[in-house]
Structure 1
Amino acid sequence: MWRIIIADDQKSFRVGLRKALEVGSSGLIIVDVAGASELLGHLRSPLKTDLVIVGSRLLPAGDPTYLGALKRAAGAARLLLVVPHASADLFQDALSLGFHGLIVRRQRPEEMLEAIRTTLDGRLYAPNTILAVKPPEAAPAMRPPERGARTIGLTLRQREVLALIGKGLSNREIAFALNIAEATVKIHVSAVIRMLGVRNRTEAALLAPTILKGKI
């Protein structure tokens, strides 16, 4: 019997996914939670959890400590991230943060069930909209970096986000500038902080000019 936690701030999403799971699968224990601290509480219970489905808006922007606590509490449980839209770069960011795949919030119920089965089976899941365009591993070849620049593993989108962090923009302002969802910005910010090995976005902003000029 699988135990699945659905953690998202939208009740309609939690209820809809729960109903789809109850109709499409059997032998499931489903728990739904609305908040980040509540999620950690359920994960720290003695009951074993097999899969955690986490809405991106529950991840505190610029706070890698929560993500670390989430992964420690989840233990061997698989992690799926719910996002407003998906891209190859975002998929790579999610993997770098320890997730095992993405679910797009507006995917059809049968696609979400496929994502859950794939993840529980021990495989990574990427939405078909990503795979139809190009495989995730091809993302770094989108645009060559400037000559002599060292990207230290950052994708093009991560470099764009880092540049705007360096200018002091908020997540909302970055979302507007790049024409992406604010929840997506939060994921990119967390990935940048993790890959730079800094504690918060302030330290990332201080490093931004040096990194983007390829001096380290």
Structure 2
Amino acid sequence: MTDDPAPTRVLLVDDQELVRSGLKRILRPRDGLQVVGECADGSEVESALARQAVDVVVMDLRMKGMDGIEATRRVAAADGPPVLVLTTFDDDEMLSGALRAGANGFILKDSSAEDLVAAVRTVAEGGSWLDPAVTARVLTRFRESADPPTGGIHQDVLTTREQEVLHAIACGLTNAEIAAALFISELTVKSHIGRIFVKLGLRDRAAAVVYAFDHGVVRPGDADRLRPPPGS
């Protein structure tokens, strides 16, 4: 008889107790998740991580004390666990800052319980979770407010197909959507993504989005033009 796998240990960071209570009801042991700690302010995160082992931090952006951007920056600087950011639909500017600070993914607060569980698992396992709806809005906001894009090494080191895949990642498309848009298999998409990360020194999809923002890989409206229409 084999032992059950250890649960994924979650630290919740949100200044609203009601929100934390709701998250705890969703992130349940029956789904292989265990909330091992709670913080009501970003300033409490470092000490909480020092007290217990944590596999993933679920971080709110807007808090009365230290916000989620600074807290995420400190977690990343200390080589702490991956951070999944909780965001609302109008948090585009802060979300961009959280990605730059080292967040590994983001999900809307009104997402389904199933998506939240999947996002926590994905980020805890070293992946990224980028909500497509938020990605498109953040992209538009970023391009409106950012300095003119600087040149990047992607044009020199990536093949044309890899550049197309990087562009699609930055638009928030899933692997399945990229495969459909470029008429290739999902396995081929995964292979391209792996090579992109190695060539550009990127850790995950979230880092790829930040790179794309910084180097003018994408423009407002690109996601809508690239993503296949529903039912296609």
Match of 2:23 in 1: 17
1:95 aligns with 2:123: no
Structure 1 residues 125-150: Cα deviation after superposition (integer angstroms, max 9, x where no partner): 0124346xx598x759967x9xxx74
Return the offset for 1:49. 1.4
TM-score (norm 2): 0.50
Match of 1:28 in 2: 34
Q: Quote the Cα distance in structure 2 between the aligned partners of 1:55 and 1:135.
A: 18
Residues 151 and 77 (structure 1), Cα distance of their counterparts in 2 relative to 1, 3 Å cut: same
Q: Quote the Cα distance in structure 2 between the aligned partners of 1:27 and 1:42.
A: 18
Match of 1:210 in 2: none
Letter in 1 for 2:123: T
Contact 1:5/1:53 (CA < 8 Å) preserved in 2? Answer: yes
SS in 1 for 2:75: helix
Letter in 1 for 2:19: F
Q: 1:111 aligns with which of 109, 112, 115?
A: 115
Contact 2:89/2:134 (CA < 8 Å) preserved in 1? Answer: no
Return the offset for 1:69. 2.9
Q: Quote the Cα distance in structure 2 between the aligned partners of 1:108 and 1:24.
A: 17
State the superposition RMSD in angstroms: 3.7
Letter in 1 for 2:36: I
1:54 aligns with 2:54: no
Percent identity, aligned pairs only, is 19
Return the offset for 1:26. 2.7
Q: Quote the Cα distance in structure 2 between the aligned partners of 1:69 and 1:141.
A: 23
Q: Which blocks of at least 5 consecutive residues in structure 1 are unaligned?
A: 154-190, 196-216
Return the offset for 1:152. 5.5
Structure 1 residues 108-128: Cα deviation after superposition (integer angstroms, max 9, x where no partner): 211111111111221110124
Residues 139 and 123 (structure 1), Cα distance of their counterparts in 2 relative to 1, 3 Å cut: farther
